[in-house]
Structure 1
Amino acid sequence: MHQVADYLDHQNFGPIIADRIWNAWWKDAGLHLSDITHHLTEMVDDRSLPTALVAHDESGYLGSAFLIDCDLEERQQYKPWVAAVWVEESKRKRGVGKSLVEAAAKTAADLGYRVSYICCHQELEAFYTAFGWSVLERDVGPHKLSVLSFEA
């Protein structure tokens, strides 16, 4: 059984979170691993956003997700965004990703946001819509991403 907790209480997972996010999304974009490590320090400062959540069990890190101001330059009017959802490959299809995304949306609602947003490639839409997210737009920006929303 896994738990989802605030990154503030599990900063020991910082190096692995930075590694996974950098390799998945930012390595080929020219960012350095240290840029992601620095971004994680913002997750534990006094601001409510950005923030991070960590899924873990007795074996350790399972995955993580961020809640940030904006994840899609083309849609800056939307706020906040669930972003950088990552689940360790060997732990996928066990409800960890769903737990992370739901916890991030609940965190947004607790912060006073009625709606949360997420972007993904079209082939991942079904993952999110299966537990209540709605497709708002498709083919946004150069990566032709889908934008989904969740109303708390």
Structure 2
Amino acid sequence: MNIQPLYAAPQHAEQVTDWLWQAFGDGVPRAFFESIVIHSQTPGALPLTFIATEGERLLGTVGLWRCDLITRQDLCPWLAALYVDDAARGQGLAGKLQQHVQAHAAGLGYRELHLWSACRDFYERYGWHYIGDGLEYPDKTVHLYRYSLADSAGGTTE
């Protein structure tokens, strides 16, 4: 398995766009996610999209974004749009994708990461700390998490 920036394998951009739209696009046009994917393919800039592949098979994706929640623009950067293909689930790939983004963000000099999720308990297993609730437009309550890149902890607790 290989995790790399999407710009290194742009042939997967359409599939990543479709995954993000299907997984996170409730009421949001596909063009919104296409724009994110297009703008995440500039080396050295945020947003950045990573993909996991095995040979030519796309397994999953995750992003490192400046902001993933319009109501919390004070927090930066964000781990965003984590998605693992159904056929690749249950093999620890979600954790590996998180670790990849964490290492990349630490290498860029960031001291912490943030994310939001509608579910509880999943991210805590990977060392994320619940910091309160937030509001996703227009009126959806979501859970906010912080991951300290300075902490030595952070692996899965399973």
Q: What code does the residue aligned with 1:135 have?
A: Y
1: CA distance between counterparts of 2:124 and 2:28? 32
Q: Unmatched 5+ residue regions in structure 1?
A: none
For 2:27, the equivalent position in structure 1 comes to 29
Matches of 1:94 and 1:46, distance apart in 2 = 29
The corresponding residue for 1:135 is: 130
Cα deviation, 1:27-67, whole Å, max 9, x if unaligned, reads x3232x23322321211225521001101113610000011
> Alignment partner for residue 87 of structure 1, among 69, 84, 87?
84
Give structure 1 regions of 4+ aligned residues with deviation exceeding 3 angstroms: none
TM-score scaled to structure 1, two decimals? Answer: 0.88
Structure 2 portions without partners, runs of 5+:
150-158
Q: Output the CA distance in 2 between the equivalents of 1:82 and 1:73.
A: 14
Go from structure 1 to structure 2 and tell me whether the alpha carbon gap of 1:108 and 1:14 turns closer, same or farther (over 3 Å shift).
Answer: same
Q: Which of the numbers 96, 99, 102 marks the counterpart of 1:99? A: 96
Number of residue pairs the alignment of both structures matches: 146
8 Å contact kept, 2:7–2:43: no
Q: Distance in 2 between matches of 1:9 and 1:80?
A: 22
Is the 8 Å Cα contact of residues 69 and 81 (structure 1) preserved in structure 2? yes
Aligned-pair identity in percent equals 23
Judge which range, 49-58 or 38-47, deviates more.
Answer: 38-47
Equivalent position SS for 1:122: coil
More helix by share: 1
2:129 maps to a residue whose letter is S
Pair 1:151 & 2:148 matched: yes
CA distance in 1, matches of 2:107, 2:6: 16
Please state how far the C-alpha of 1:15 moved relative to its aligned partner.
0.7
1:7 equivalenced with 2:6 (yes/no): yes
